[in-house]
Structure 1
């Protein structure tokens, strides 16, 4: 019982530090929407890099990825650590830099606002916001499931699953209501540094306790020799490429990531950030996935519905250090959750509430509507996490994350075309977005094939959306209100 109290005290102490940062940010945040949602576009290189980093690295990273490495082998490092680190950095330049230029020129706060203005369509703005909120639901739920499982693993079941999920839900609603983008970005920087530090210490500690790298490698060769060969099993070329592409393209349209394309202080800040991105990603993904791989060789037993990292740490590190690492994982989940809810609030208020319900609402009223929306949304995802997450298997977090990644990936190519090709019409982009989403949703919820010609259905849905966007744009004329010149800002 003393160990449980110590573990929960460490996690709780970390939450209080993060909340204190949020309170400080609240005192420095004015009541304008641009400051609340974008920190007045004033974020520098270090904070931009770490807020994007911490926002992306969630329960999927700390639990889902290591679980896959534990069950299928270490090539998950190649999928997420290398390919996605590079692919997203490229997309950050191709889409993010151009989006920053356009946002600077016209003051856009959300992706839907940007597209709705360019194509003169309130309906398109609402559709894009609706798609963003639709896929945000399972990914917020992913953080709550991960938090619940983390607390169960840390306390060996003494604290129930629902309590961990409830803890992160209450915290993120409170934090988003107070902090805004400035507080979220500051806390993300703290959380990113904390995550990197504890995970590398965990690697060193496990290696030392297990007898060193040679002993761990020998155990892996003895117990899971197939893990020492590249490829095979789950890791076919089609799986590796499809997963990396869908995740990288999906990440680009995540509301909490896409909105960060607007917040950089200047062009130099943005360029330095995406240049450093692959290095930072490798520094976190390599150790977390190695821990999952080593656990398989060391014969770690993972309880049903549990995760490998807490089980490994309980075996090879002291209770207090395992609690620190779980606090790091909770930090990853919180940094994703608070950013998701903040961006979700901006999508709801800027792209749905203002255009369709109250065009003349004040910033203060919009802020309160956003806060209520955050609480309702988080409450619904919490209830869903209770129904689906308590007794799930090792790969549930990966499956849940994959669903959201694939849904967002359907937006990327139509948006890229709109940014760079003046020939895209209102009907073209609307058709491409809607057809891509309907095709993807059909494969998620109906008994349709998971692959075509051995390639993941999400890739085919992306291709379909691209073809429809181009094809419909070619056969339709620009509608009244469209203005291609709004996206005519040149990138260096």
Structure 2
């Protein structure tokens, strides 16, 4: 059996397994919106940890991360594997634990719902949802683009880009509509374990083929193009850039809808605390081998393929066809494991924070459940249609989404921990930072960096300053519920 047949067999097998899991989950799912979105807030430590892990890190780890390490050096491990492993773990507790407590007490499902209730504003609720969807939409689309492109290349054009992207979209709609959070979390757990195992096997296989880590590292030093990779601070890795990137990614991750919503889904406070403690370890276990494969490939002289992804080339050079096919097919599955969670969260923001407050306030739970499943189909279909045109602007938004979501983080932190935050303060703070950061992306006269510090980090500082300043000079609105974030919740 050739490589193409092996890869297609693995992809089809994954689709069938995922669909089977979805059908089992559907039989165990209550027909309520809360169960569809949050699995009735019952996720345990392993499932919560691995569903967050697979949703967030899958396709990036297989493709973008090793390529960055190949082109710029292995310090990328510091940015993602260590700094963001730690930064996000801290935010998982500081933001996630507080959100979990509030969700248990008041039944919140989305970030916008939580903020809208505290500040007595459906417009703030809609603003948070709208901003989130702006950054989330291109991310879903990019997964479809990636899957369609990969299938087209995999089959040498037998499956066209449009047919491949359409096939993946139809499957995701069927699966997510049936499975909800419960099924998505189960398959993500399998996917996360798969990623860890195959990445470490790949690392050991390649190192055995080249003679060990010492030989691979010596090749980096001997290669004139990569000799600087063995010293810190080369190329793009300036202190301002490293800190800016690590901070915006770490804070942005905490605001990604598919990640943030999982804070509400934990089964207990113990689950939250164990998960945040294990997260940095999991990041290091995955990032170190995958990124080092990329860096070592540069020293060993592995040529970058036309796809722009170095990992497939490394595997093709040093591992058997069947194993390389297994890893790349797994990367395809990883794209889908990210997309299904994005579709689920996007649907909840549309249905819960836009439709419910502005169209049909007296929405029954059963009708909301049906609308939520329909929202998945609508969101996925819209992203697929746009992906057929592959507009450059949306690609730019997709690449910048981490910093875009990061603009929400500090106003949210203030709202959670500072009683003095007012409706006007948080609203203007979110708008100011989003407008500033958007201008830095699309308006040429607005700088994208300031003495090496990125506009994303500067925008976060602006949002913090505006939120505090406006809150200090404005009075709370009559509908605000200033005490609810500071009352002691009941038992677990």
Q: Do they superpose with TM above 0.5? A: yes
- Cα separation, 1, equivalents of 2:4 and 2:334: 21
Out of 445, 448, 451, which is 1:450 matched to? 448
* 1:236 counterpart residue number: 238
Local SS of the residue matching 2:266 = coil
- Cα separation, 1, equivalents of 2:72 and 2:106: 47
Deviations 1:186-232 (A, max 9, x none): 11111110111111111111122233323322322222212122221
- Cα separation, 2, equivalents of 1:462 and 1:169: 34
The Cα shift of 1:154 comes to 4.9
Out of 367, 373, 381, which is 1:379 matched to? 381
1:316 aligns with 2:318: yes
- Cα separation, 2, equivalents of 1:461 and 1:328: 36
* Structure 1 residues 293-312: aligned runs within 5 Å: 293-312=295-314
Distance change (3 Å), C-alpha of 1:152 and 1:288? farther
* Structure 1 residues 156-305: aligned runs within 5 Å: 160-223=160-223, 224-305=226-307
Question: Are the aligned partners of 1:154 and 1:323 in contact in 2 as well (CA < 8 Å)?
Answer: no
TM-score scaled to structure 1, two decimals? 0.94
Q: CA RMSD in A?
A: 2.1
- Cα separation, 2, equivalents of 1:278 and 1:23: 33
* 1:27 counterpart residue number: 27
Question: Are the aligned partners of 1:154 and 1:322 in contact in 2 as well (CA < 8 Å)?
Answer: no
Distance change (3 Å), C-alpha of 1:154 and 1:235? farther
Deviations 1:294-316 (A, max 9, x none): 22122222233431111221222
* Structure 1 residues 466-477: aligned runs within 5 Å: 466-477=464-475
- Cα separation, 2, equivalents of 1:321 and 1:262: 38
Question: Are the aligned partners of 2:253 and 2:406 in contact in 1 as well (CA < 8 Å)?
Answer: yes
Distance change (3 Å), C-alpha of 1:320 and 1:159? farther
The Cα shift of 1:23 comes to 0.9
* 1:355 counterpart residue number: 357
> 5+ residue gaps in structure 1?
none
1:479 aligns with 2:474: no
The Cα shift of 1:152 comes to 5.2
- Cα separation, 2, equivalents of 1:220 and 1:158: 39
The Cα shift of 1:420 comes to 0.4
Out of 400, 404, 408, which is 2:405 matched to? 408
- Cα separation, 2, equivalents of 1:238 and 1:157: 44
Local SS of the residue matching 2:484 = helix
* 2:418 counterpart residue number: 421
* Structure 1 residues 42-81: aligned runs within 5 Å: 42-81=42-81
The Cα shift of 1:400 comes to 5.7
- Cα separation, 1, equivalents of 2:38 and 2:183: 11
Distance change (3 Å), C-alpha of 1:316 and 1:150? farther
- Cα separation, 2, equivalents of 1:54 and 1:141: 18
Distance change (3 Å), C-alpha of 1:406 and 1:323? same
The Cα shift of 1:451 comes to 0.6
TM-score scaled to structure 2, two decimals? 0.94
The Cα shift of 1:401 comes to 4.8
Distance change (3 Å), C-alpha of 1:490 and 1:154? farther
> 5+ residue gaps in structure 2?
none
The Cα shift of 1:375 comes to 2.2
1:437 aligns with 2:434: yes
More displaced stretch, 147-156 vs 102-111: 147-156
* 1:96 counterpart residue number: 96
